[in-house]
Amino acid sequence: MTEANGHPGIARAERQAAPSPVGTGFFEPWIGRRQVLDLDDFTQAEIERAFETADHMKEILARPIPRVPTLRGRTVVNLFYEPSTRTRVSFELAAKSLGADVVNVTASGSSVEKGETLLDTVRTLRALGTDLLVIRHKDAGAPYAVARHTDLPVVNAGDGAHAHPTQALLDAYTIRERFGRVEGVRVLIVGDIAHSRVARSNAWGLTTLGAEVTFCGPPTLMPATALAVSRRGGSGQLPWPIHVELDLERAIEGVDVVMPLRVQIERQDGNRLASLREYARDYGINRARIALAAPHAIVMHPGPMNEGIEIDPDVAHGDRSVVEDQVTNGVAARMAVLYLLLAAGESTGTRDHGAETGEAEGPGHHRPGAASDAPSILDRRSVTPARERL
């Protein structure tokens, strides 16, 4: 366990109400929301509130000293069971920019290696004075399980191939920043859809905001339900109102946003591709293919990029690329999430400690069928991945 910016165990009773980052009367919190697990239960108004808050966070980040004392005395713990650079550092910078203390915990070198369960780790972190938990886990459903068994605010920083809500927020925010809106924008997400938590969360967020979303990829990297939809003509029985297309040249024509995804070899069960060279030939985003998109089209990527496979270097770093904007916006978007969740804690009073027994759950954040095995996985040393829910 490593610590940054101060001791995690400051007594809550000694903490004063946090000041607003840009003066009085800043933003109302997300009323009743204590977790960000995915965007499936977010309303359009909640997402837009996050965007408006992120706008002000960008103003803070543009200052000579990009720090405010808004969350001074609060402790944010980044609990990461998978490797991460962008997401972990982004959350750390977001919390520090708001004045919070930050503690980074990884599975390697912690009590997890001694057999400690996920639930016991969370209980320990809570007892040490944690105010908000950011969790990344290799197994789908793990953050849902944590949220059911603790009264801490929980933010999902990626769970297996299931969800990555803050990535989806920053992606939609970047689209809004570029086009002035998300509604009506045509977004193509191309690549390893079957193993992409980014694709799923973006489908929820973008369609909630009115974007027109298309999934494209090889049949072997497309979930079975999406593949069936493509054979029926492009749209149909999916959780979101999106289109599915297997032919990249047809899918990319006239779109406003092209978002290639990394081929996630580490999550694949068996060999789903003949070769990466074949994938790059058929689905890689190059200059010839990007020319088929709208003249004003932008290129996005959630990172990390495998240049020369899903995207050519000259496209990844070309005039249409907003990849670095996404990274920058990620800090502002995560600042907004932390502010809105912890501000809600200030306005709603003390926590419901019944949640520690699993009796209290965050409002409306467990959709039917989502992480249904969550209560049982916390006390097992090996978390069973939730079933694919596409």
Residue spans of the domains in the chain: they are 2-13+20-160+328-350, 165-319
For 138, which DSSP code? Answer: S
pLDDT of residue 130: 98
> What is the per-residue pLDDT for 103?
98
Under DSSP, the state recorded for 33 is: -
C-alpha to C-alpha distance for 99 and 76, rounded to whole angstroms: 10
Output the 3-class SS for 146-161: HHHCCCCCEEEEEECC
pLDDT at 107: 79
Asked if 257 and 290 count as a contact pair (C-beta separation under 8 A), the reply is no
DSSP-assigned letters across all residues of 196-209:
-HHHHHHHHHHHHT
Do 2-13+20-160+328-350 and 165-319 have matching folds? Answer: yes
Convert the pLDDT of each residue in 331-387 to its tens digit. 999 999 999 999 754 543 333 433 343 333 332 333 333 333 332 323 333 333 333
User: What's the CA angle centered on 207, arms 203 and 208, to 5 degrees?
Assistant: 115
Cα separation, 4 vs 305, in Å, equals 29
Pairing, β 2-4 against β 101-106: antiparallel
CATH architecture of 2-13+20-160+328-350: 3-Layer(aba) Sandwich (3.40)
Q: How far apart are the first and last CA of the chain?
A: 35
Model pLDDT, residue 226: 79
Nearest to 82 by CA among 106, 102, 104, 103: 106
CA gap 154, 86 in Å, rounded: 19
pLDDT in tens, the chain (390 residues): 444 444 333 333 333 334 444 433 456 778 789 999 999 999 999 999 999 999 999 999 999 999 999 999 999 999 999 989 999 999 999 999 999 999 999 977 667 666 789 999 999 999 999 999 999 999 999 999 999 999 999 999 999 999 999 999 999 999 999 999 999 999 999 999 999 999 999 999 999 999 999 999 999 999 888 777 766 655 556 788 899 999 999 999 999 999 999 998 765 565 667 688 999 999 999 999 999 999 999 999 999 999 999 999 999 999 999 999 999 999 999 999 999 999 754 543 333 433 343 333 332 333 333 333 332 323 333 333 333 333
Contacts 24+ apart (CB under 8 A), 137-141: 137/81, 137/82, 137/383, 138/81, 138/82, 138/383, 139/377, 139/383, 139/384, 139/385, 139/386, 140/371, 140/385, 140/386, 141/370, 141/371, 141/373, 141/374, 141/377, 141/383, 141/385, 141/386
Alpha carbon of residue 31 to chain centroid: 20
Q: What is the pTM of this model?
A: 0.81
Q: What is the pLDDT of residue 6?
A: 40
Write the DSSP string, 292-329. Answer: TS-TT-EE---S---BTTTB-HHHHTSTTB-HHHHHHH
Residue partners of 104: CB distance under 8 A and separation at least 6 = 1, 2, 3, 4, 77, 78, 80, 88, 92
Tokens 């239960």 correspond to 41
Instruction: Find out if CATH 3.40.50.1370 is the number for domain 165-319.
Output: yes
Three-class SS state of 280: helix
DSSP 8-state assignment for residue 384? P
Structure tokens at 252: 């990319």
